[in-house]
Amino acid sequence: MIKSWYNRLNKISALKRLALVFFSNILTAFGISCFYACGLGSDPISVFVDGQHRLTGLTLGQINTIDNVILLILMLLLARRYFNVGTLVTVFLTGPLIDLFFGFLSHTFPENDTTLPIKIAMISIGILLFCFGLSLFITADFGIGTFDFPSLALSDKTGIEMRWFRMALDALFLVTGYLMGGKAGFGTVAGVLITGPLLSFFLKRLKEPLAKILQPLYRDATPSAEK
């Protein structure tokens, strides 16, 4: 099975997509770190990770990696078709990058000594980079993120639109994270309201140009057949 997949693979396209996945992870991890460093709250999944971090004492990056590994195992057991190389990269790269960037930002902009305008600027930069990075990851089409797998799998199984499951799971992550001590606030509201439209904006403008650069991932595929 692996040999067949490898033989079908367009190696040049795979390398381009892999590079795009690495770059997208750098951007999204920096964006998430901006949320954490400003101390005004973050997106629902990050609130969940923050709650676990405060409860266990493990770093934000370590918690992120543990959660990703657990979800990766579930993905491989229940919905292997969603897995690809990009998924694996994201599982083990995002966490260390968050710790690296958060350490730099929290040292450069200490929460108690940073003014509100600078914190709002950090949130704005965080949302922008997160959405742009996520749009690159989606466009690379080299696997999905593990946190996206449950809502996508449930949507495929039931026929109900993915966004409804994503909204329900986001609410669950937010409430659970908050109860564990995760910080929610202005950044959380801004992230929820802005992320969707901004992500859609980037995807519409990146899809066609990047498709020409990336080329079909498989030798038996055509550009029109690519998702």
pLDDT digits (tens, 9 = 90+) for 123-156: 999 999 999 999 999 999 999 999 988 998 888 8
169 lies in some domain? yes
173 lies in some domain? yes
Euclidean distance between CA atoms 140 and 163, whole angstroms: 21
Phi, psi of 218 (to 5 degrees): -115, 145
227 lies in some domain? no
134 lies in some domain? yes
**Joined tokens for residue 109:** 């902009």
Euclidean distance between CA atoms 190 and 42, whole angstroms: 9
Question: What would the pLDDT profile of 78-99 be if each residue is shown by its tens digit?
Answer: 888 899 999 999 999 999 999 9
178 lies in some domain? yes
Which residue range(s) make up the domain with 67?
Answer: 8-215
19-23, 145-149, 187-191: range with highest mean pLDDT: 19-23
59 lies in some domain? yes
Q: How is 140-199 classified by DSSP, letter by letter?
A: HTS---GGGHHHHHHHHHH---HHHHHHHHHHHHHHHHHHTT---SHHHHHHHHHHHHHH
Tell me: pLDDT of 224 over 50: no
The CA-based angle 98-182-56, given to 5 degrees, is 75
Kindly provide the b/e burial profile for residues 114-140, where b requires at least 16 CB atoms within 10 angstroms of the residue's own CB: beeeebeebbeebbbbbbbbbbbbbbb
Tell me: pLDDT of 25 over 90: yes
**Reported pTM:** 0.90
The Cα-based distances of 132 to 107, 202, 205 in angstroms read 25, 6, 11
When divided into structural domains, the chain yields a total of: 1
131 lies in some domain? yes
18 lies in some domain? yes
Average pLDDT value for the chain: 91
The pLDDT score that the predictor gives to residue 221 is 63
